[in-house]
């Protein structure tokens, strides 16, 4: 089985389309949450993802707030503005679908599980070694894929923990050996590692190989839509610098 790994699409249809066009052959998609928020195409992104019929999909914090399940209290003013706009424009059907998304972690098979933030809490960020250590204690399978930070990262734990990566360059590949791995394949729709290209992953179960890839997309169209929607301009500007 070859899984396409998509996380943090954030209503960026141009980035999602570029990823789907550039992705090597795959069987099913895994979607790690935050389909909406920040970008100008929440309905179109939801419909595109639904059409993919993913093998698994879990919710992110923006999905919860956009669907009306949680308040905006934990969001900064930019995220707050964008999610209020999102909640306003979403069709009732898409909002209901978003509200019904399950929380992570979700088991994919005996080797792989997915979560949005961390395996112990869907809203917690895994940035550094200390965060990763907490996650290694609770993850149940050799490979745990996560999102939420929008920063590609890979951690390996055998007898002790070693960071591998962060994944850089056009393609980063790792083979899941005897160790356990915690990997963020990056954000499709709002990268924050200084590389504005859309990020995604591909996991091959036969060879237990995970690849993290980047693809350029039509940033200026995504930006124009953000401005035209009346969303804060900084949300358009950040796409160009990947922050």
Q: How many CA atoms within 13 Å lie on the side-chain side of 186?
A: 35
CB of 7 to Zn ion, least distance (A): 8
Residue 13 in 3-state DSSP? Answer: helix
- Report the residue number, 176 or 196, with the smaller CB distance to Zn ion: 196
- Report the residue number, 176 or 198, with the smaller CB distance to Zn ion: 198
- Report the residue number, 25 or 76, with the smaller CB distance to Zn ion: 76
d(CA 74, CA 16): 26
Looking at 88-229, which runs of residues are DSSP E strands? 106-107, 112-114, 143-146, 153-157, 161-164, 171-175, 180-184, 198-204, 209-215
Looking at 92-239, which runs of residues are DSSP E strands? 106-107, 112-114, 143-146, 153-157, 161-164, 171-175, 180-184, 198-204, 209-215
- Report the residue number, 34 or 193, with the smaller CB distance to Zn ion: 34
- Report the residue number, 144 or 176, with the smaller CB distance to Zn ion: 144
**Of 57, 164, 161, nearest in space to 115 by CA:** 57
**Of 73, 123, 69, nearest in space to 97 by CA:** 69
CB of 53 to Zn ion, least distance (A): 22
Assess whether the previous peptide bond of 166 is cis (omega < 30° from 0). yes
Q: Are 239 and 190 in contact (CB under 8 A)?
A: yes
CB of 79 to Zn ion, least distance (A): 9
CB of 191 to Zn ion, least distance (A): 11
CB of 82 to Zn ion, least distance (A): 11
Residues that bind Zn ion (CB under 5 A): 8, 34
- Report the residue number, 23 or 79, with the smaller CB distance to Zn ion: 79
CB of 107 to Zn ion, least distance (A): 22
């Amino acid at each position: 089985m070859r899984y396409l790994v998509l996380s943090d699409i954030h209503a960026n249809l141009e980035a999602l389309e570029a990823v789907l066009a550039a992705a090597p052959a795959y069987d099913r998609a895994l979607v790690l949450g935050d389909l909406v928020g920040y970008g100008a195409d929440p309905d179109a992104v939801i419909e595109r993802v639904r059409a993919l019929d993913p093998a698994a999909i879990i919710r992110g914090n923006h999905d919860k707030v956009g669907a009306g399940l949680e308040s905006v209290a934990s969001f900064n003013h930019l995220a707050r503005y964008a999610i209020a706009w999102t909640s306003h424009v979403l069709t009732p059907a898409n909002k209901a679908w978003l509200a019904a998304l399950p929380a992570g972690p979700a088991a994919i098979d005996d080797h792989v599980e997915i979560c949005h933030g961390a395996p112990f809490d869907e809203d917690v960020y895994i940035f550094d070694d200390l965060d990763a250590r907490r996650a290694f204690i609770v993850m149940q399978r050799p490979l745990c894929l996560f999102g939420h930070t929008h920063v590609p990262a890979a951690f390996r734990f055998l007898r002790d923990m070693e960071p591998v990566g962060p994944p850089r360059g056009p393609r980063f590949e790792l083979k899941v050996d005897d160790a356990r791995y915690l990997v963020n394949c990056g954000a499709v729709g709002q990268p924050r590692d200084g590389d504005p290209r859309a990020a995604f992953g591909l996991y091959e179960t036969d060879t237990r190989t995970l690849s993290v890839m980047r693809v350029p997309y039509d940033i200026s169209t995504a930006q124009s839509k953000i401005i035209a929607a009346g969303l804060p301009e900084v949300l358009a500007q950040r796409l160009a610098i990947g922050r």
